[in-house]
Structure 1
Amino acid sequence: MQLYDFPREEVYRAWAQPELLTQWWGPNGFTSTFREFDFREGGFWRFTFHGPNGAEYPNENRFIEIEPGKRIVLEHQGAPEFRLTATFTDIAGRTRVIRQQFNDEKIFEQVKSFCPDANEQNLDRLQAVLDGQRVK
């Protein structure tokens, strides 16, 4: 969870617009190529992460719930299975966001050593995109 010095609508747009999302989604050193971004409930977001070591990691998410400006819920399809809920909460002109839940305790145990740090890197990259441009 992180707090941003930007209005909720701007932070939400950085999640909802693929041209912004591709700039920050992923941990440090990763880039991504979006193959599909069907931003609607039931729609899919398919992309490939390109790791700093040259490896490629196909990813598929399905949008479960979208409440414009307020909340995005998606499920990562395939290993590791998880549900990510991005709730955009206004706190005096600032925005607080994110929650991730794993479906299986064994999977959580496998990823807990690196997942929190990777998520923080991801959210720091979001901060950099927000700092670099006022989201339009």
Structure 2
Amino acid sequence: MSTTDTAADFSTLQLDVPEGVQSISITRDFAATPDKVFRAHIDPELFVKWCGPDSITNTIREWNATTGGNWSYVSSDDRGEYAFFGSFHEVRENERIVQTFTFEGFPDAVNLEILTLTDLSDGRTRLMSTSIFDSLESRDGMVASGMEHGIVEGFNKLDRLLAEA
């Protein structure tokens, strides 16, 4: 499965969901330098502005974006609240973030996320993210939840946020 994000004319969102493999990979280019894209991922005040679909509001409960730190936030919409938490295993400035991700509604389903930023020059950055799930069922459940819609809208919000910076 792959999709194209038409909101940004210079980039596409590549979403790969390989059959029979417990992972999802995302590739997306941004019209911003790696330091700005990185900061938007680790600064809680910026993160809540762009993460997820347009219909949600995020609230940080805990945020320590350092190697060995923890994070937790709640996403709210007209249907309710959805809480998430994890640990930052590696935070390498402007290059890489490795973290766990758990939805409190399914606490036994933990995934590992590896995000890498590559400087494309001319003020552009390629974000590559791989999520490794504990099972195919967990991965397929995430896909069925509307994850793709949330990623596209979230990255569109991130584009606007980066343009303002």
Q: TM-score, normalised by structure 1?
A: 0.88
| Structure 1 counterpart of 2:7 | none
In the TM superposition, residue 54 of structure 1 has moved relative to its aligned partner by 4.2
Q: Greater shift after overlay, 66-75 or 102-111? A: 102-111
Distance 1:90 1:119 in 2: 21
What is the letter of the counterpart of residue 55 of structure 1?
Answer: G
| Structure 1 counterpart of 2:142 | 111
Q: Greater shift after overlay, 17-26 or 71-80? A: 71-80
Q: TM-score, normalised by structure 2?
A: 0.73
| Structure 2 counterpart of 1:100 | 130
| Structure 2 counterpart of 1:63 | 88
What is the letter of the counterpart of residue 80 of structure 2?
Answer: A
What is the letter of the counterpart of residue 64 of structure 1?
Answer: H
**Mapping for residues 72-111 of structure 1, pairs under 5 Å:** 72-78=97-103, 79=106, 80-92=109-121, 93-101=123-131, 102-111=133-142
Distance 1:87 1:70 in 2: 6
What is the letter of the counterpart of residue 50 of structure 1?
Answer: S
Distance 1:100 1:122 in 2: 17
The answer to which structure has the higher helix fraction is 1
In the TM superposition, residue 65 of structure 1 has moved relative to its aligned partner by 0.9
Structure 2: 5+ residue stretches without partners: 1-26
RMSD (Å), alpha carbons: 1.6
| Structure 1 counterpart of 2:60 | 34
Deviations 1:84-117 (A, max 9, x none): 2221111123101131322211111222232222
What is the letter of the counterpart of residue 63 of structure 1?
Answer: F
Distance 2:158 2:115 in 1: 13
Structure 1: 5+ residue stretches without partners: none
Say whether residues 1:9 and 2:41 are aligned partners.
no
**Mapping for residues 17-56 of structure 1, pairs under 5 Å:** 17-51=43-77, 53-56=78-81
User: Which of 118, 122, 126 is the matching residue for 2:154?
Assistant: 122
Number of residue pairs matched by the alignment: 132
Q: Percent identity?
A: 25
The structure that has the greater radius of gyration is 2
Distance 1:83 1:117 in 2: 21
